[in-house]
Amino acid sequence: MAAKYPIGIQDFEKIRKEGYTYIDKTELIYKLANEGNYYFLSRPRRFGKSLLISTMAAYFSGKRELFKGLDIEHLEKDWTVYPILHLDLNTDKYDKKEVLEQRLNLFLSRFESRYGRDVNEVTLSQRFEGIIQRTAEKEGKPVVILIDEYDKPMLQAINDDELQDEFRGMLKAFYGALKSQDRYIRFAFLTGVTKFGKVSVFSDLNNLVDISMDARYQTICGITEKEIHEYFSEGIKNVAETNNLSEEETCKKLKKQYDGYHFRQHGKGIYNPFSLLNTFATGEFGSYWFETGTPTFLVQLLQRDNFYLPDLTEQEVTADILNSIDSLSKSPIPIIYQSGYLTIKGYDEEFKLYKLGFPNEEVEEGFTKYLLPYYTNIGAEDGPPTDRGQGLCQTICFRHPQADKGWG
């Protein structure tokens, strides 16, 4: 039977029941669950964050049958069933404050219909506090809270400071309920693409552990070199045959095209899972991840900050800059890094500086192929570019036809 690749499938139960390939990350989930309570993880889009959340939901729901043959089957002895509060902010278009209010209200209303509501709970954060407490009391177990794409509203308001401030204030109060109701919470895990700083959205959550650059969890999303050979031998053969390559040549090209993400200094190389799975399924190399992205967003960001494009891959930054986009008004680099368009390429031990660059050929070629055509003015004083294929080494005057139309 041919291998089935879970392209775009983010539901762990569906993957397991329908025989899709699943890369076992459950040992790391067990480690998280048994060594702490509150976590945050930042990873680029389509890197497996939603699947990770779904796997956690199945684990804390006690669905042992879904984990047969996986590492956690032998690690977990109790398989306790906990009530789960799962909030996914990925679906709406957050172009006004009311949309976020409606999304949070929908989330709360579903649980209030089951566990009741105190009429004195007026604000969204008060209602969230009440839900956490009543759920734990009525179920007789502390709750598990899973929040996916926590930052989607603020990202969509990236060019609207007033709206972004409104979203930030609303979410700061909402997520603050986790701290106030700590005694009723077994586990909380929040994911997103970016880190809108611990001094803003998460300022009230000083017990939240950021594992985004933690050596122990650097492989929790994405695919490692070892996992490619362990899970995708059939896929490698298919790509080799389709492209008239040897398996060795195929592996080298896969590495050059999709590997190269590093989420900490001296970290392990991570492959882009979305592009890799698409390549195995089709047998064809392609810019799958980049083509499904939002290049307009990048153009708007670079244009807004008047960023000199050749400097993009010559960045040396501190950990504080990488770990927050509170400094977004000064530099677009943190969000471009966190979004997956740049990655850690080196580290200066003496000065504690991270050298950034494109992770792989897909991203570098994607910038040239999909972004440069949007720019209409080349710096006249430098003359026309001699070769667009030689990376992004041209002086660009940023002018984008959709620069005022919001998120791409």
pLDDT tens-digit series, residues 44-83: 999 999 999 999 999 999 999 999 999 999 999 999 999 9
Average pLDDT over residues 186-190: 97
Per-residue pLDDT tens digits for 117-153: 999 999 999 999 999 999 999 999 999 999 999 989 9
d(CA 241, CA 284): 10
Which residue from 173, 153, 171, 175 is spatially nearest to 163, judged by alpha carbons? 153
Per-residue pLDDT band at 405 (split at 50, 70, 90)? very low
Q: Residue 31: helix, strand or coil by DSSP?
A: helix
Whose tokens are 């399924």? That residue is: 281
**pLDDT, greater one: 406 or 359:** 359
Beta strands 343-348 and 353-357 are antiparallel
Which pLDDT does position 330 carry in this prediction? 62
Which pLDDT does position 386 carry in this prediction? 37
Q: Residue 192: helix, strand or coil by DSSP?
A: strand
Per-residue pLDDT band at 206 (split at 50, 70, 90)? confident
Domains of the chain (ranges, CATH numbers)? 12-217 (3.40.50.300), 225-286 (no CATH), 291-397 (no CATH)
Which pLDDT does position 311 carry in this prediction? 66
**Is a pLDDT exceeding 90 seen at residue 86?**
yes
Which residue from 364, 341, 361, 390 is spatially nearest to 279, judged by alpha carbons? 361
Please name the residues in contact with 53: beta carbons below 8 A apart, sequence gap of 6 or more: 86, 88, 146, 148, 189, 191
| Percent of the chain scoring above 90 in pLDDT | 66
Range with lowest mean pLDDT among 109-113, 128-132, 207-211, 262-266: 207-211
Which pLDDT does position 332 carry in this prediction? 79
**pLDDT, greater one: 20 or 328:** 20
Per-residue pLDDT tens digits for 281-331: 999 999 999 888 655 666 767 777 666 666 677 788 888 778 766 544 567
d(CA 193, CA 150): 9
**Is a pLDDT exceeding 90 seen at residue 187?**
yes
How many CB atoms are located within 10 Å of the residue 177 CB? Answer: 23
Which pLDDT does position 302 carry in this prediction? 72
Q: Are 261 and 270 in contact (CB under 8 A)?
A: yes
Going from the C-alpha of 27 to that of each of 42, 121, 213, 229, 388, the distances in angstroms are 19, 39, 18, 19, 45
Q: Residue 136: helix, strand or coil by DSSP?
A: helix
| Percent of the chain scoring above 70 in pLDDT | 83
Per-residue pLDDT band at 404 (split at 50, 70, 90)? very low
Q: Residue 100: helix, strand or coil by DSSP?
A: helix
Per-residue pLDDT tens digits for 348-384: 999 999 999 999 999 998 877 776 665 544 333 433 3
Which pLDDT does position 389 carry in this prediction? 37
pTM for this prediction: 0.88
Which pLDDT does position 296 carry in this prediction? 62
Structural tokens at position 303: 């244009």
